[in-house]
Amino acid sequence: MITCVCSFAQVDTAQLKRLYDRCLDFSEDKIDSIKYYADYISKEADHLQYNKGSVLSLRLKGIYEDLSNNYEKAIEYYLQSLQAARLIRAPEYEMVALSDLAIAYFAIREPEKAKEFYLQCARLSELDGKIPSLINTYNNLAVIYTQLKLYDSSHYLLEKAVRLGKPLERQGRINLSSTYNNLGNLYFKEKKYDEALIYFRQNHAKHTAGSDLNGLWVARLNLADVFIEMRQFDSATLYAESAMKLAQRLESKSKQADSYSLLAKLAEHRGDYNKAYQYIKKWYSLDTAILHSDTYKTIAALQERFHAGEREAENKLLQEKVEKETLRSRELTLVAVALAIIGVLIAIGFVIKRNAHRRLQETNDLIVQQNEKLSELNYEKNSLISIVSHDLNTPFATIQIWGQVLQNGSDRLTEEQQKAMSRILQAGLYGERLIRQILDVEREDIGSHKLHLEKFDLKAFAEEVIDNFKPMAAKKNIRLHADFSGKKLFILSDRYLVSRICENLLSNAIKYTPHGKDVWMSIHDEQDTVTIKIRDEGVGIDKEELPYLFSKYSKISSRPTDGEASTGLGLSIVKRIVEEINGRISCESELGKGSVFTVTLKK
């Protein structure tokens, strides 16, 4: 609920700062209030010409998006807050923005990027010299080093934080509970569970006596985890279920997802694979809702735009230097002409030639610098694509690991559960294939793919493809029809590449078809070729856009009917794969009536 701000009739900068501080203490159930006050502070700060207002407002907007699990928008606002803080030369807010960015990147499982921002924050904290700020920064860096398995560095930072903070803790000026909790996590990672338990219990006792429910949730989750590893399952169950109740009370999807993940781990260790499977399904539904794969691409683009701005400023400085040097060259030419009139033509000619050569060399050096900058930009773009594609493998690898764990206990599962487990593993493999699509589009050497030719029954293969897409179609109440009855039809081709062609086209047909309609897949045998047709009753494609349909990153006006994601990559990849196996692809479509994609392959 949003609290009225009518009491601020004569608002001043001090009141805006107090309002900002109040917002930082709001719980997750008051995130709408945070957004409201962020806009209010921005408006009033403009009226008062309060230069810190934009920093405060942008950070609150970032916190609102962060609590809403919209990490790409959160990072965008945090980057703007960082730029605003640097513009007004406010290092205290610059440190806050750097810390916010590090936390956000850590939340999306990019510890290297988080470390980069925390190191910047540490340098500012050491210059500032305030012990509480230093301790907080050392704590955060230690968490990152623990995540990266740099345990010695983590020990060093946490012990340094304890040495600095102990005198202040005795005076009651600071609380080192987070440091002790981080030490517990570090010992846990090192599998020193007895030492970890000491620190986790100490942290739990401090939060039980306080009012910080978020901290209490973390403490109980950690205790449950260490008891699982120590095989004290009754204690683990007590703390895990208590952590789940706290997560539900806080109405936090991310905390509920982590709690379900731990409950699944506990059930798996106890041998209750059915319960572990149920918890995994709940975790997966929450985790994928929080962090969709498109988020990684968007965040990478935001980071690139931020650095591109800094590089653009550098390029402008270089350009200004070039212009100044050109102006100076013109002045020297005029001087040379004036001196030539006086009569020292030979001497002046020599000076002009020497200076012109020097200026030309300097100009060439500047051009080389600019070319190097452009090369760096292109390299960073390619690196971002590779990094994002690599990091996206993590959630699919998790699905594969848990799926294999559950399959190992398949004798405990019903036939329907075993079939569902098989579908989960197939979905994980399909996700990994989609990740490879991004890299395939950017690679120029796709033609060097080594074909693996085999003879297989195309009709049986197509039946399997359709069966895999039935759950996807059922969500939209779409009926899938197969038109390839009759004798077997064998072709000699690359089974994997044919699979990618059919899966892309069938997935698109379902995406662009409204609820309750029909999609057909047919196979026709001709003399030396076979044709695969995918027909739908979807939204169709404008005739003017058909020539650009298979272009790389093409974006057509037609949109998926249920809000599904569309990158513009699929059809360009399909065309390249079809050509790779000496085939042809075409499309016939009409707006409002649907589309027919025809793939012709040699037998």
Q: Which residue has the tokens 């002009």?
A: 352
Q: Tens digit of pLDDT for each residue in 120-137?
A: 888 888 787 788 888 888
Q: Report the helix count and the strand count for the chain, using DSSP H and E.
A: 21, 7
Please state the pTM of the whole predicted model. 0.40
Say which residues have a Cβ less than 8 Å from residue 299's Cβ, sequence separation at least 6: 71, 72, 75, 108
Element (H, E) at 453: strand 453-457
- Predicted confidence band at 479 (pLDDT cuts at 50, 70, 90)? very high
Say which residues have a Cβ less than 8 Å from residue 391's Cβ, sequence separation at least 6: 109, 110, 296
In percent, the amount of the chain with pLDDT more than 70 equals 73
**Token pair belonging to 332:** 């020297």
> What is the rounded CA–CA span in Å between residue 45 and residue 13?
7
Q: 222 and 203 in contact (C-beta within 8 Å)?
A: yes
Predicted pLDDT of residue 569 = 65
For the segment 345-353, the average pLDDT, to the nearest whole number, is 62
Predicted pLDDT of residue 538 = 93
Say which residues have a Cβ less than 8 Å from residue 330's Cβ, sequence separation at least 6: none
Element (H, E) at 476: none
> What is the rounded CA–CA span in Å between residue 65 and residue 77?
9
Does residue 103 register a pLDDT over 90?
no
Cα end-to-end span (Å), the chain: 66
Predicted pLDDT of residue 307 = 54
Look at 401 and 518; give whichever has higher pLDDT: 518
Look at 290 and 462; give whichever has higher pLDDT: 462
**Token pair belonging to 57:** 């407002």
Q: Tens digit of pLDDT for each residue in 520-570?
A: 999 998 888 999 999 999 999 988 888 888 876 566 777 887 777 565 567
Beta-carbon-side half-sphere exposure of residue 228 (alpha carbons within 13 Å): 21
CA 212 to chain centre: 29
Q: 525 and 459 in contact (C-beta within 8 Å)?
A: no
Q: Tens digit of pLDDT for each residue in 18-35?
A: 888 888 887 767 788 888
**SS3 state at 483:** strand
Average predicted confidence (pLDDT) for the chain: 80
Predicted pLDDT of residue 3 = 46
- Distances, alpha carbon 26 to alpha carbons 38, 107, 556, in Å: 13, 20, 43
**Token pair belonging to 298:** 């968007």
Predicted pLDDT of residue 372 = 55
Q: What sections of 177-292 are H helices per DSSP?
A: 177-189, 193-209, 213-229, 233-249, 253-269, 273-290
**Token pair belonging to 31:** 């995130």
Predicted pLDDT of residue 433 = 67
Q: 81 and 100 in contact (C-beta within 8 Å)?
A: yes
Say which residues have a Cβ less than 8 Å from residue 584's Cβ, sequence separation at least 6: 578, 599, 600
- Predicted confidence band at 595 (pLDDT cuts at 50, 70, 90)? very high
Look at 465 and 317; give whichever has higher pLDDT: 465
Predicted pLDDT of residue 172 = 80
Candidate from 62-76, 227-241, 259-273, 438-452 with smallest mean pLDDT: 438-452
Q: Tens digit of pLDDT for each residue in 563-574?
A: 775 655 678 889
Q: 363 and 325 in contact (C-beta within 8 Å)?
A: yes
- The CB-based long-range contact list for 559-565 (8 Å cut-off, 24+ gap) reads 559/512, 560/511, 560/512, 561/476, 561/511, 561/512, 561/513, 561/514, 561/515, 562/476, 562/511, 562/515, 564/511, 565/292, 565/294
> What is the rounded CA–CA span in Å between residue 588 and residue 259?
50
Measured at the alpha carbon of residue 398, what is the angle toward residues 393 and 403, in degrees to the nearest 5?
125
Q: Tens digit of pLDDT for each residue in 300-309?
A: 544 555 555 5
For the segment 382-392, the average pLDDT, to the nearest whole number, is 55
Predicted pLDDT of residue 370 = 62
**Token pair belonging to 540:** 């169709």
Q: Tens digit of pLDDT for each residue in 161-186?
A: 888 888 888 888 888 888 888 898 88
> What is the rounded CA–CA span in Å between residue 446 and residue 430?
20
Length of the chain: 603
Q: What is the DSSP string of 293-359?
A: HHHHHHHHHHHHHHHHHHHHHHHHHHHHHHHHHHHHHHHHHHHHHHHHHHT-HHHHHHHHHHHHHHH
> Given strand 529-536, what is the order of strands in its sheet?
479-483, 518-525, 529-536, 594-602, 584-590
